[in-house]
A = this chain, B = another copy of it.
Amino acid sequence: MMLDRLRQAVDAGFAQQTAFLTELVKFPSTRGEEAPLQDWMARQLAARGYSVDRYVLGDLDMSHLPGFSPVLDTDYSRAVQVVGTRRAAAPTGRSLIIQGHVDVVPTGPTALWSAPPFSGDAKGEWLHGRGAGDMKQGVSAMVFALDAIRAAGLELTADIHVQTVTEEECTGNGALSTLARGYRADAVLIPEPTDATITRAHVGVMWFRLRVRGVPVHVARAQAGSNAIMSAYQLILALQRHTEQLNAAARQDPWFGGIPDPLKFNPGVIRGGDWASSTPAWCEVDCRIGLLPGSTLEDARRGVERCVAEAARADGFMANNPPDIIWNGFQADGYVLEPGSDAERVLAEAHQAVFGAPMEERRSTAVNDTRFYGLYHHMPALCYGPRGINVHGFDEAAHLPTLQQVTLAIACFVTEWCGVREVG
C-alpha cells in the first residue's frame, strides 16, 4: 500500500521532475560556475519549506581536515553550497543526509555533440546534456522523492538534510564542507548514476601536475636544446609502466582483485611550448591516478614521485633539471561500504520492492563523495542512483524510465529509514 501511494505520487510528479531536470541541465555549471544554479536550488528548496543554509567554501577553513584536497586557480568565494533541512517536530526515526553534486565536467568540443550540451534536449526515453547523467538527474530524484512523500500525505519523523554541493569532480571539498559545517545523520544517500546498483567500494584518486622544463633554442640548432614536450612524454610512459605494476599488485585486493586494471592513470590535459620553430621550454601535464582502498595517499604519492624521479635520472637533461610534481585537486582515499548495515538492508528492500529483483552491487574505479561520510565519520554512506550514459563524454544522457523507478525506490527507502506519519 505504501509503495502504491508513493508510486502514484512519483508518477504524478514525473513530468514536473523532468522539467526540473531540464532546468538543471540548462545551467552551464562547470567548475567555478555553479553559483547561479545553486542560488536557484536554494530558492527551490526554500519554496518547498526547507530551512536553507547557503554558504561558500571561502567561508570555511578546511585545510586541516582529513580528505581535504588543495586547489589552484579556483575562486572559493564563488563556490556556493546549499543545505536544505526539514526538522521533525518530535524525531523518532533515523536521520538522513541525501546529497548530490551540481558541478559538471567540461563539454569538450561542442561540435561533437548531437545537440548543444546545455540545451536539455530530450529524445524519447533520454534527456541529453552535460551533467544530465552525472548527476543532475540524481539531484532531481532527491528532491522529487521527498516531494512525492509529501504529496502522498506523509511527513518524515526524522530530520533530513538535502545537500547540493560542488567540487565533486575535482576535490570533494563541497561534501567536506557540509561536515565541516557540522551536518551529521544516521545514514547518507548519494544518488550518483549507478544504474540502480549499490556501490560496494570505490578506489581513491589523486590528481597532480607534471611540470617539465626545456632549453629553448632556434630549431635550426635543435640538438643544442631540450624539447619539454618530448620530456613530458618520457614521464607519461614511465607512469604508465608504474600503473601496470600497481595493477599487477591489485590482483590480490579483496575488493578489486576481480576487476582488470582497476587503477587508471590518465594524462588528461597537456599544454606546452609557444612557437612551432622553437624547442619548447616548458610542458605541463595534468594527470589522474587511482589507488586501492586501504592504501594511503602518502604511499601512493611517494610511488609516483619515485617513478618520476627515476625516469628523470635516466634522461640527460631532466637529471639536471628535475621535473616538478604539484599535488593539486583530488587527494581522495578509496572507500568500502562494509556489508551488513541497516541502511543498506533498508535500501535493498526498497529496491527489491520497486524493481522486483535484488539490488546488485558494483565496484567503482572512480571516487564519489560517500568517502567523507563513511571513512572519516563512520556513517553508512550509500551510493545508489539512476542510469546515465556517456558520462564525461559526448551526448551524455539520463535514462528517464530508470530515473522514475529510482526516484520511487529512494522515496520508499526514505519513508522506511526516517519513518513517516500521516499528515492531518
Contacts and interface: CB of A to CB of B under 8 A. Distances in A.
Nearest to A108: B281
Contacts of A213: 112
A109 to B, nearest CB: 6
Contacts of A275: 105-106, 169, 268-269, 392
A393 B207 contact: no
A393 B269 CA distance: 25
A183 interface: no
A367 to B, nearest CB: 9
Interface in A150-208: 169-170, 205, 207
B366 A276 contact: no
**Chain A interface size range:** 35 or more
B287 A276 contact: yes
A273 interface: yes
A220 interface: yes
A264 B288 CA distance: 33
A274 interface: yes
A227 B266 CA distance: 8
Contact of A288 (B205, B219, B236, B270): B219
A288 B281 contact: no
A223 interface: yes
Contact of A267 (B230, B271, B390): B230
A227 to B, nearest CB: 7
Task: State how many copies of this chain the complex holds.
Answer: 2
Contacts of A369: none
Given A218-B366, A220-B366, A269 B279 contact: no
Given A112-B281, A278-B105, A219 B273 contact: no
A216 interface: yes
A168 B136 CA distance: 52
A269 B277 contact: no
Given A270-B273, A271-B270, A272-B269, A264 B222 contact: yes
A217 B394 CA distance: 8
Given A220-B366, A365-B221, A288 B276 contact: yes
A65 to B, nearest CB: 22
A267 to B, nearest CB: 5
A225 interface: yes
A215 B270 CA distance: 16
A271 B274 CA distance: 10
A98 interface: no
A273 B269 contact: yes
A274 B391 CA distance: 15
A273 to B, nearest CB: 4
A244 interface: no
B393 A270 contact: no
Contacts of A227: 266-267
Contacts of A330: 276-277
A142 interface: no
A220 B268 contact: no
Nearest to A208: B276
A105 B279 CA distance: 12
A141 to B, nearest CB: 20
Given A112-B281, A223-B261, A270-B280, 10 more contacts: A109-B282, A134-B218, A218-B391, A220-B264, A222-B264, A222-B266, A268-B275, A269-B276, A270-B270, A270-B273
6 contacts: A108-B274, A217-B390, A219-B264, A233-B236, A270-B272, A277-B366
